[in-house]
Structure 1
């Protein structure tokens, strides 16, 4: 990664992180309800029966309600667990399962751990992001877990990043390893961006 791209990513992430921390509890509750409604509609539109999602941190657009409801409705939901080697293991979400703190302080599921290959069976990936641009390029938080996962999948299904409305930008700094997404889900809308992944 060139220093200029690295610096631009760091500066943008810092700005986005600060904005997220300023959201009130009432806003976060409304955000989570909005994200759930958008993701429910996306699942209905795509017919997905097996998906990956993530357990949101307090400052992220909330996904916990969506995950719990999807599991209750019989949708298979894989949740990621970070590994020290930069790969993601997966756990099948279960009703009322415990949540622990992962390697980087993020909420992660407790349960039977499946290998990184488990995600190859899903119909839809729902992933976190710091921001996404209008071409579908995603800016993550700098650890590369989801770029590695998406880059390693032979037949990648549609991928939607969950962000706030203000985090769909005209352009984000990008590097060669950065992976695009199919679209974004925000608390108020779902936007298709890139052509579906193959």
Structure 2
């Protein structure tokens, strides 16, 4: 990655992190309800039976309510578990989900650990992002877990990034390893994007 791209990504992430930290609890609750409704509609649209999702941190658009409701609906939801080698293991969400703090302080499930290839059979990937550009370029938080996962899949299903409405930008800095997304889910809408091609 060139220094210019790395610097641009760092600066944008810092700005986005600060904005998220300034959100009120009420705004976060409203956003989580909106995200849940948008993701529920996405499940119906794609006829999803099995998917991956992530457990949101306190500043991310909330996904935990959605995960609980999806499990209640009988959807198989795989949740990521970070690994030291940069790959992701997975665990199936359960109705009595137990959460612990994983690497980097991220919330992760406690349960049977499935290897990285467990995600190969899902109908939909729902992933975190700091921001997404109009061309589908996703800006993550810099650790590369989801870029590696998406890049290693033989048959990648639709990939949607969960962000706040203000985080869909005209463009974001992009490097060769960055994997595009199919669309974004925000608290107020779901937008399909034409992923950038290399």
Instruction: Within 5 Å, give how 1:35-184 maps onto structure 2.
Output: 35-184=35-184
- TM-score after normalising by structure 2: 0.98
Residue ranges of structure 2 left out of the alignment (5+ in a row): none
User: CA–CA distance in 2 between the matches of 1:164 and 1:28?
Assistant: 10
Q: Over residues 6-32 of structure 1, what are the superposed CA-to-partner deviations in whole Å (9 max), with x where a residue is unaligned?
A: 000000000000000000000010000
Count of residues in Structure 1 that have an aligned counterpart in Structure 2: 197
Q: CA RMSD in A?
A: 1.2
CA shift for structure 1 position 2? 0.2
Q: Over residues 98-142 of structure 1, what are the superposed CA-to-partner deviations in whole Å (9 max), with x where a residue is unaligned?
A: 100010101100000000000001000000000000000000000
User: CA–CA distance in 1 between the matches of 2:49 and 2:134?
Assistant: 28
SS of the residue aligned with 1:79? Answer: strand
SS of the residue aligned with 2:104? Answer: coil
Please identify runs of 4+ aligned residues in structure 1 that moved more than 4 A.
none
User: CA–CA distance in 1 between the matches of 2:136 and 2:69?
Assistant: 28
